[in-house]
Amino acid sequence: MAAPMLRLYPGPPQRAAVEGAYLSHALHRLGNAARPFVYADFVSSLDGRIALDEPGGESRLPPALRSANDLRLLLELMAQADCLITHGGYLRAIAAGRLDDILQVGARAGSEDLARWRKASGLAPQPAVAIASASLDFPLPPSLAQHGQPVMVATGAGAPADKVAALRAHGCEVFVAGQGRYVEGRPLTRELGARGFRSLFLLAGPRMLETMLRDRILARLYLTMVHCVLGGAAFHTLIAGPELGPAGRLKLSALHYDAVQPEGAGQWFAQFEAPRADGAGEE
């Protein structure tokens, strides 16, 4: 059992257990097929780094940003999703051994309670997986078929036609969710909502977060801020690209303080509500 956190906001301050902290949000009940509840989770250093680049150009999560408490809360968010939205880069990293495969709920030692929670909550044994990819160049982890997870591929209108055909020939559902090369937040959410998914969790990178914010589709952002300064010449932040303006103005709704992890540095677990458009997910 992890040491308790301190809930700072909303006050008054009080101790709170890590286990179950995010399950209590019942995110699977906050959306519907017409307006899915879209949420994301990131971990960042004080200087805004979410990943550093290796000399070969591949990104990695620095050990200083890893902690058992952050992982536990990430898994709790995944457990509440009808569908996980990921991307080709994550699947390539799994295949190369750079990142762990966490696409299944309750599969890691110590997280079996999350599978039981899904069953008790009336959710499917495992979430579906939507892969957002422009290049369509990625391997499918064997774990998806082993656990019977529905898999869909979302791409842009400019996707390579031969790769689209090859995926469909192998029985993969492929749909267009963007007018150009890349997947866009609004059409992606609309397509997934039409398939009956009500809660969508972004297990993806800055590009997906940006389009979900810019299209005013994101409902909530969970942000772990580790109390360390990383530095590094090549790094990734939450988003890149043009200024977001009002679409990027989020409202703090909860803040917890973990004084112990990682490695005694401490971290904040923050929850922000994002400005959604009326009828988000629709056109």
Mean pLDDT by 10 residues, the chain (283 residues): 90 95 96 95 95 73 91 97 94 86 93 96 96 91 92 93 89 90 94 96 94 96 96 87 91 96 92 82 45
d(CA 105, CA 78): 7
User: What is the side-by-side strand order in the sheet with 199-202?
Assistant: 14-16, 5-9, 251-258, 267-273, 220-226, 37-44, 199-202, 83-87, 128-132, 151-155, 173-176
- Examine residue 206 and state whether it is found in any structural domain, yes or no: yes
- C-beta separation of 224 from 43 below 8 A: yes
Query: Which pLDDT score is estimated for 3?
Result: 87
User: CB of 40 within 8 A of CB of 222?
Assistant: yes
Query: pLDDT value at position 73?
Result: 97
Residue 208 lies in a domain: yes
Which pLDDT value is given to residue 112? 96
Its pTM stands at 0.94
pLDDT of 62 reads: 86
- CA 193 – CA 45 distance, rounded (Å): 34
Number of separate domains in the chain: 1
Residue 281 lies in a domain: no
Owning domain of residue 229 = 5-273
User: Is 190 part of a structural domain of the chain?
Assistant: yes
Question: At 258, is the secondary structure helix, strand, or coil?
Answer: strand
Q: Which residues contact 132 (CB under 8 A, 6 or more apart)?
A: 85, 86, 87, 88, 154, 155, 177, 183, 188, 204, 208
143 is a domain residue: yes
Task: Tell me the helices (H) and strands (E) count for the chain, helix number first.
Answer: 7, 14
Q: Per the domain annotation, does 112 fall within a domain?
A: yes
- Please indicate, yes or no, if residue 278 is contained in any of the structural domains: no
Please calculate the CA angle 148-188-219 and round it to the nearest 5 degrees. 100
Q: Which residue in this structure is represented by tokens 């082993």? A: 146
Q: Domain of 163: which CATH number?
A: 3.40.430.10
**Exposure b/e, 153-165, CB count within 10 A at least 16 = b:** bbbbeebeeebbe
Does the residue 221 lie in any domain?
A: yes
